[in-house]
Structure 1
Amino acid sequence: MIGRESQSFKDFFINLFNVIIQNNPFELLEKPKSTIGIKNYPNLRDHPLHSPEIWLEGKRKDDNLSGLWRIHNKLYDFNDFIKIHPGGKDWLELTKGTDITEAFESNHISTLPEAFLPKYFIKTINTPRNSPFTFDKNDLYQTLKKNVRNEINKSSELIKSLQNKTKLITDGLLLMFILTTSGCLLKESYLLGAISGLLLTLTSIAAHNFFHQRDNFRRFYFDLTTMSSKSWRISHALSHHLYTNTVYDFEISALEPFFQYLTMKKNITVRYLSWIYTPIVYGLLYLGYFIRMCIQNVLDKKLFNTESYLPFILWTFLSIITNQSIFVSMKMFVWVYLVSSFFVGVIGLNAGHHHPDVFHDGDYFESKSGIDWGLYQILAAMDRTETHKSHFWGLITFGDHIMHHLFPSLDHGALMFLYPTVEDTLKQFGIKLRTNSTFQVAKGQFLQLSKVSVQI
């Protein structure tokens, strides 16, 4: 009798699963199409795990470079350069076998790296790049880089002081997170736990400033969230920043099918019910990321990176010094991380990329000879008025988004100083940075989820 009941339960859940699959309310009705000229639909884009490592594996297949690095139409062998790369070995190890044109151009403001390239040159390649982006000498982005480079060289001491201010803010946020976490454990306080969760969010966002840069210990503050700064160097720095709002943007594809931001056919569930389940998804971002990271480590047959243990080491240490029970510590841990995950979703997904007036692949775009990469970055983002040109608020809320996308490896403090130079250059090209209120940007994110038609 018990066996038959167990079997009936099993059959029930199998049948339920089949019904859900056959009537998937989140199903992609079509594969998103690139309207800016990305030549091939990305390999492994729709892999069910949606991990940064799998995205990178797909890009290697797309670029097909046999373990070399491509910059524009030239191939290089940087194997001997990996260990001495000034930015750290991560960047070259991760990008081996891929086209790094966008990464090379946007992360090197100085002309010095170009001088080293001939030493590692292998051959010229005639195969067209998958990417449609251009970096012509007299076009917008190269002109911006030249003017910014000159300004940095003239004001290096002032910029250094602004960078020190960034470090001070980031370290201060970490200290406040540790103190409020200790308080919430001592008092078993959900209020202090909520404040701790918010401070963890702000600390991780500030730390995001540092994982774009050369290797440094502050980038590991980001790992306190249970997310990996190394994986985010793939998903955020090497995907989202370089191919923003396109079919190659991991931060778009990783949220599918629940959030479908690109302009394409969408079913009613995704278009409108997403407005309701959005807060739930925000709260589960950390958990989903951690589970995916565990699965990826099993697939790769490797242990976690050392920094992946940081949140658990810190939490265990604080639980010991506050003499708190395991049950209370686990309960407060879950609460703090649910709150932090929610705020990361709220701030991150409303940072300025998702609005009907911001370009998304699938929107109408006419170009016969590619598009200047810098111009595209301006089209694919919108700044929030309340955090615009503020060192502190920009650092902790993904503010000054367009400037950060144009020069991702520059410190947020340097970005504040460089606004006049950038705006004067843009004026020469008849371009102005777009801003909107935080409310309108957040509202636009939901309007973009429901958008199915192209903008002309």
Structure 2
Amino acid sequence: MNGLHIEHLTSIVQNEISSLKQLYQQKQYDKSLDKLSSLGIKYPKFRDHPLHNGHMWLESKRIDDGAEGLWRIHDQLYDFSDFVHDHPGGKDWLRLTKGTDITEAFESHHISAVPSTLLPQYLVRDAKVPRNSPFTFNENGFYNLLKRKIYEKLKTLPKTSSDRSKHITDFLLISYIVFSYIGFAILAAYFRSFAIGGVAGIVLALTAIAAHNFFHQRDNFRMYYFDFTMMRHKEWRISHALSHHLYTNTVYDLEISALEPFLQYLPTEKSLIFRFASWIYSPIVYAFVYIAFYLKAIIQSLILGEKIPLSLLLPFTVLGAMIAFTNESVIFCTIMFFWIIITSSIYFGIVGVNAAHHHPDIFHDGDTPRPKDQMDWGIFQIDAVRDRKDINSSYFLVLTNFGDHTLHHLFPTIDHGYLQYLYPEFFETCQEFGIRYETTTQLELVKGQYRQLAKHKPNPFPPGHIQPT
């Protein structure tokens, strides 16, 4: 009896602890669940969690998307379980998104109409609840019309158009290896040159940005170039390709929420510290982007009981070469390695944050959106992006500084090498629908990014509205 009594008490205590944990989590992380974004999107369940990452972002979507453990496209549910390993783009895209609404990903990742014709054989039933996303893909709407034009245009372009992207990206990786391995080995032993390390860091950042072109596409070896940064392309396929690209500047954009509370870009009530002091400390935030993503990846693997992925060791091959091919101490080599990583992280952060999305004239969740009948996903992408004329003028800058950004957001799986040829169809479609495509300069976006950090009142007018003079 005593044993049974103890087991009963133990069970009661465990249940109480579990209940307290749930109440704590409810208080700490679900305090904003009753809020809606200005677009009508539910506030993601785990958005304010301290370990907010791609895994938790997907869990939020599984809660809110009404996919019932399947894959949702528009208002239908599909079971792609038998198709995951046969998916031409690689199994990750479907494996990661099971249980979520993949409408935006399906529409923007498939330029051809062929995938749509295959859907009926995987159809299970209609969804029971409306979509959480406000975006539309009407057959004769802006995006689908543009997509049909782009598909026809791509047929006329030579396949070699993408070769430039491959050659430049390969060259950048080789340059990084040269500056990190050979450059350090020869020069550091004599000059202990942190300047060479700084150059290596910048080249690594350029390589990572160029490699981002490839992790949007079907599985390929160049997407692993990104992993030399200490960040993982698999995590960025979630945070960047599935989150930022599809729900740009909304509460579902991981690239905005991951920087909070240090940098707050959505127009909401902010303290003076976050509005103005962030202008000064933002470079410190950029310096630890790589390391923060690395630590999150390790913590996530430990929490989920997964094996630490081998790709997390890739950056340290550089450190190993430094130790092996120089006469310097392990301590000095480690300092130089992290100097390269931090320099690269700062450069990557400056380029990424100032690339296209943060300016008071660009739509951010909280601003007044377009009317519901104008919530075409393609139009929304134009509202949330600004291209830089000075970057788009050079293909090298396009590939290494997130150029041709509007077209890249509209068609993320198309190699950057093709984008410059697609502007006539894009301009024509914008004119047909009365959509203004606005460009700016890199300097203006830098200034605008600081103004957006300081901004705490939403734009009262929707994008495209001509304000009275």
TM-score after normalising by structure 2: 0.88
Return the match for 1:229 from 217, 228, 233.
Answer: 233
- Aligned partner of 1:437 in structure 2 is 441
Which AA in structure 2 matches 1:355?
Answer: H
Give 1:401 shift. 1.0
Once the two structures are superposed, the pairs formed by residues 235-250 of structure 1 within 5 Å of their partners are 235-250=239-254
- Aligned partner of 1:385 in structure 2 is 389
Kindly indicate whether the alpha-carbon contact (under 8 Å) linking 1:32 and 1:262 is maintained by their aligned counterparts in 2.
Answer: no
- Aligned partner of 1:419 in structure 2 is 423
- Aligned partner of 1:52 in structure 2 is 54
- Aligned partner of 1:177 in structure 2 is 176
CA shift in 2, pair 1:329/1:186, >3 Å:
farther
The 3-state SS of whatever aligns with 1:354 is: coil
CA distance, structure 1, for counterparts of residue 137 and residue 45 of structure 2:
25
- Aligned partner of 1:162 in structure 2 is 161
* Match status 1:37 vs 2:36: no
Q: Which stretch of the first structure deviates more once superposed, 220-229 or 50-59?
A: 50-59
CA distance, structure 2, for counterparts of residue 259 and residue 297 of structure 1:
27
- Aligned partner of 2:464 in structure 1 is none
Q: Which stretch of the first structure deviates more once superposed, 44-53 or 387-396?
A: 387-396
- Aligned partner of 1:308 in structure 2 is 312
Q: Deviations over 1:24-59 (max 9, x none)?
A: xxxx99997511222x21111111111111111111
Give 1:322 shift. 4.0
CA distance, structure 2, for counterparts of residue 32 and residue 292 of structure 1:
27
Return the match for 1:123 from 125, 129, 133.
Answer: 125
Q: Deviations over 1:382-432 (max 9, x none)?
A: 111211253211110011111110000000011112122211221222223
Return the match for 1:132 from 124, 134, 145.
Answer: 134
Could you say which structure has the greater relative contact order, defined with CA pairs below 8 angstroms and 6 or more residues apart?
A: 1
Kindly indicate whether the alpha-carbon contact (under 8 Å) linking 2:352 and 2:402 is maintained by their aligned counterparts in 1.
Answer: yes
Return the match for 1:400 from 399, 404, 429.
Answer: 404
Kindly indicate whether the alpha-carbon contact (under 8 Å) linking 1:404 and 1:412 is maintained by their aligned counterparts in 2.
Answer: yes
Return the match for 1:114 from 113, 116, 119.
Answer: 116
Return the match for 2:222 from 218, 221, 232.
Answer: 218
CA distance, structure 1, for counterparts of residue 35 and residue 77 of structure 2:
30
Q: Deviations over 1:324-371 (max 9, x none)?
A: 431221011011011000001100000110000000000012423460
CA distance, structure 2, for counterparts of residue 116 and residue 317 of structure 1:
49
CA shift in 2, pair 1:420/1:274, >3 Å:
same
CA distance, structure 2, for counterparts of residue 431 and residue 177 of structure 1:
42
- Aligned partner of 2:148 in structure 1 is 146
CA distance, structure 1, for counterparts of residue 180 and residue 411 of structure 2:
34
CA distance, structure 1, for counterparts of residue 369 and residue 380 of structure 2:
11
Kindly indicate whether the alpha-carbon contact (under 8 Å) linking 1:33 and 1:247 is maintained by their aligned counterparts in 2.
Answer: no
CA shift in 2, pair 1:146/1:53, >3 Å:
same
CA distance, structure 1, for counterparts of residue 267 and residue 428 of structure 2:
33
Once the two structures are superposed, the pairs formed by residues 182-197 of structure 1 within 5 Å of their partners are 182=181, 183-188=183-188, 189-197=193-201
Q: Deviations over 1:44-80 (max 9, x none)?
A: 1111111111111111111242320000111100000
CA distance, structure 2, for counterparts of residue 268 and residue 32 of structure 1:
24
The alignment covers a number of residue pairs equal to: 425
Kindly indicate whether the alpha-carbon contact (under 8 Å) linking 1:244 and 1:380 is maintained by their aligned counterparts in 2.
Answer: yes
- Aligned partner of 1:70 in structure 2 is 72
Return the match for 1:254 from 242, 255, 258.
Answer: 258
Return the match for 1:352 from 339, 349, 356.
Answer: 356
The 3-state SS of whatever aligns with 1:75 is: strand
Give 1:225 shift. 0.2
CA distance, structure 1, for counterparts of residue 403 and residue 321 of structure 2:
33
Q: Deviations over 1:259-282 (max 9, x none)?
A: 111111111110010001011111
- Aligned partner of 1:11 in structure 2 is none
Once the two structures are superposed, the pairs formed by residues 309-388 of structure 1 within 5 Å of their partners are 309-322=313-326, 324-369=328-373, 371-388=375-392
Kindly indicate whether the alpha-carbon contact (under 8 Å) linking 2:322 and 2:333 is maintained by their aligned counterparts in 1.
Answer: no
CA shift in 2, pair 1:437/1:370, >3 Å:
closer
- Aligned partner of 1:19 in structure 2 is none
Which AA in structure 2 matches 1:142?
Answer: N
Q: Which stretch of the first structure deviates more once superposed, 143-152 or 295-304?
A: 295-304
TM-score after normalising by structure 1: 0.90
CA distance, structure 1, for counterparts of residue 58 and residue 32 of structure 2:
25
- Aligned partner of 2:5 in structure 1 is none
Q: Which stretch of the first structure deviates more once superposed, 289-298 or 188-197?
A: 289-298
Which AA in structure 2 matches 1:202?
Answer: L
Return the match for 1:100 from 99, 102, 119.
Answer: 102
Gaps of 5+ in 1: 1-27
Give 1:126 shift. 4.4
Return the match for 2:87 from 85, 88, 99.
Answer: 85
CA distance, structure 2, for counterparts of residue 298 and residue 441 of structure 1:
39
CA shift in 2, pair 1:368/1:406, >3 Å:
closer
Which AA in structure 2 matches 1:199?
Answer: V
- Aligned partner of 2:269 in structure 1 is 265
The 3-state SS of whatever aligns with 1:134 is: coil
Which AA in structure 1 matches 2:135?
Answer: F
- Alignment RMSD, CA only? 1.7
CA distance, structure 2, for counterparts of residue 275 and residue 329 of structure 1:
32
The 3-state SS of whatever aligns with 1:130 is: coil
| Aligned sequence identity (%) | 50
Kindly indicate whether the alpha-carbon contact (under 8 Å) linking 2:208 and 2:226 is maintained by their aligned counterparts in 1.
Answer: yes
CA distance, structure 1, for counterparts of residue 398 and residue 197 of structure 2:
24
CA distance, structure 1, for counterparts of residue 350 and residue 33 of structure 2:
27
CA distance, structure 2, for counterparts of residue 149 and residue 211 of structure 1:
21
Which AA in structure 1 matches 2:115?
Answer: P
* Match status 1:276 vs 2:275: no
The 3-state SS of whatever aligns with 2:333 is: helix
